[in-house]
């Protein structure tokens, strides 16, 4: 029933997204099987041929006694399984990795800006490509699937100029079920978007500092630059105003480092490939620090198996979201 569970998560993501007046988010319930159903702050009943999951945001919420699995959201990314019920190990793994991202719109409404999640597949010494720019394939097939799961869960996917030029990406959802995110490019000048146009007809959002370049099939937003860069929080506020409440940053290193330096990324995902390059392009380059306490640190983090490797997932934001 893994596919049914995934379809149910997509339903939950949409329910959280459209429920602008949700108020206090106490618990959610998922029922998946022949028919998928989700509920927010309402109880669903167990039925034959279906599996039932209750997700609580409060430790005092009672564990269901009607055959439902019981999961407690612990922070922004933590999922604590308190009752397995009839869930399979694969279903538990899926929930632990992807359930938190269904609630990103909830956090975005609190912040009044899009919530950013970054992802890199990197070597053990922090390289995302060789000195020649070769990066295929640092990640494993499961990590590629993961990227498409995340694209389906986030409302936008953002890259910079170099990733557009070097990787020629499509930025669409292909390996899993789900809708394409809004494709967003941050660039100081107009570029060749042929690779994006060829992959699907949906419009691209271009964010820059110049006057509107008037490119067909491109929506343009002009933002003010400070010292040659657009403040990352201003980009996230702009996306929120455009109705994009969550954004998946797939690079490159310059763009992600810029967002990290501006303290604008909520969740960092690092897929570790069991390789060492010893040279190459680093995933993150930040200004020099003098003391350890000046480093970017995480309020919460976890390591999850992804195929034959592991993915680090950490929440950087200091604010309490729930």
> Does the pTM of the predicted model rise above 0.85?
yes
Q: What is the pLDDT of residue 319?
A: 45
What are the boundaries of each domain within the chain?
Answer: 2-97, 112-315
Q: What is the pLDDT of residue 291?
A: 95
Q: What is the pLDDT of residue 22?
A: 56
Q: Which of 95, 119, 147, 109 is nearest to 19 (CA)?
A: 109
CATH 3.10.20.30 fits 112-315, yes or no: no
Q: Which of 317, 164, 180, 175 is nearest to 255 (CA)?
A: 164
Sheet with 309-315: list strands edge to edge. Answer: 218-222, 204-208, 182-186, 156-160, 246-249, 115-123, 267-273, 309-315, 300-306
Q: Give the number of other CB atoms < 10 A from CB of residue 240.
A: 19
Contact 127, 280 (CB under 8 A): yes
Q: What is the pLDDT of residue 320?
A: 43
Going by C-beta distance under 8 Å and a sequence separation of 6 or more, which residues neighbour residue 230? Answer: 186, 207, 209, 223, 224
- 248-265 residue pLDDT tens: 999 789 999 999 999 999
Three-class SS state of 222: strand
Q: Which of 160, 40, 45 is nearest to 106 (CA)?
A: 40
Question: By 3-state DSSP, what share of the chain in percent is helix, strand and coil, each rounded to 5?
Answer: 25, 30, 45
- 136-160 residue pLDDT tens: 889 999 999 999 999 999 999 999 9
Contact 286, 261 (CB under 8 A): yes
Q: What is the pLDDT of residue 190?
A: 67
The Cα–Cα gap between 42 and 22 comes to 12
The Cα–Cα gap between 95 and 137 comes to 26
Q: Give the number of other CB atoms < 10 A from CB of residue 304.
A: 14
Strand 78-83 relative to strand 69-74: parallel, antiparallel, unpaired?
antiparallel
The Cα–Cα gap between 283 and 125 comes to 10
Contact 98, 153 (CB under 8 A): yes
The Cα–Cα gap between 204 and 144 comes to 22
Q: What is the pLDDT of residue 315?
A: 96
Element (H, E) at 14: helix 2-18
Contact 72, 54 (CB under 8 A): no
Q: Which of 122, 100, 112, 88 is nearest to 234 (CA)?
A: 112
Q: What is the pLDDT of residue 243?
A: 96
Q: Give the number of other CB atoms < 10 A from CB of residue 126.
A: 16
Whether the link from the prior residue into 244 is cis, omega within 30° of 0, is: no
Q: Long-range contacts for 3-8 (Cβ within 8 Å, ≥24 apart)?
A: 3/177, 4/32, 4/33, 4/36, 5/30, 5/32, 5/51, 5/91, 5/94, 5/95, 6/94, 6/98, 6/149, 6/176, 6/177, 7/32, 7/36, 7/177, 8/32, 8/36, 8/37, 8/38
Give, rounded to a whole angstrom, the gap between the first and last alpha carbons of the chain.
Answer: 30
Strand 281-282 relative to strand 229-230: parallel, antiparallel, unpaired?
unpaired
Q: Which residues of the chain have pLDDT under 70?
A: 20-23, 64-65, 190, 317-322
């Amino acid at each position: 029933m893994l596919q049914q569970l995934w379809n149910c998560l997509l339903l939950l993501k949409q329910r959280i997204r459209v429920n602008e007046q949700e108020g206090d988010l106490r618990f959610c319930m998922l029922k998946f099987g022949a028919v998928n159903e989700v509920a927010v702050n309402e109880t669903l009943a167990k039925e034959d041929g279906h599996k039932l999951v209750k997700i609580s945001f409060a430790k005092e919420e009672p564990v269901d006694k009607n055959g439902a699995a019981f999961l407690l959201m612990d922070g922004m990314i933590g999922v604590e399984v308190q009752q397995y019920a009839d869930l399979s190990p694969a279903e538990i793994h899926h929930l632990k990795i992807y359930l938190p991202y269904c609630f990103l719109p909830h956090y975005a409404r609190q912040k009044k800006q899009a919530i950013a999640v970054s992802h890199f597949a990197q070597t053990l010494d922090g390289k995302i490509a060789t000195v020649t720019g070769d990066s295929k394939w640092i990640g494993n097939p499961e990590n590629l699937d993961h990227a498409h799961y995340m694209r389906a869960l986030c409302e936008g996917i953002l890259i910079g100029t170099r990733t557009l030029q070097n990787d020629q990406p499509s930025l669409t959802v292909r390996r899993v079920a789900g809708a394409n995110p809004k494709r967003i490019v941050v660039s100081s000048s107009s570029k060749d978007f042929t690779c994006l146009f060829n992959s699907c007809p949906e419009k691209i959002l271009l964010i820059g500092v110049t006057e509107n370049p008037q490119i067909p099939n491109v929506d343009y937003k002009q933002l003010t630059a400070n010292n040659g860069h657009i403040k990352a929080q201003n980009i996230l506020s702009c996306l929120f105003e455009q109705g994009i409440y969550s954004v998946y940053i797939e690079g490159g290193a310059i763009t992600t480092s810029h967002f990290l330096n501006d303290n604008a990324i909520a969740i960092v995902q690092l897929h570790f490939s069991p390789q060492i390059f010893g040279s190459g392009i680093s995933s993150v380059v930040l200004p020099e620090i003098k003391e350890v306490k000046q480093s970017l640190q995480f309020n919460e983090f976890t390591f999850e198996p992804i195929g034959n490797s592991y993915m680090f997932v950490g929440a950087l934001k200091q604010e309490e979201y729930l």
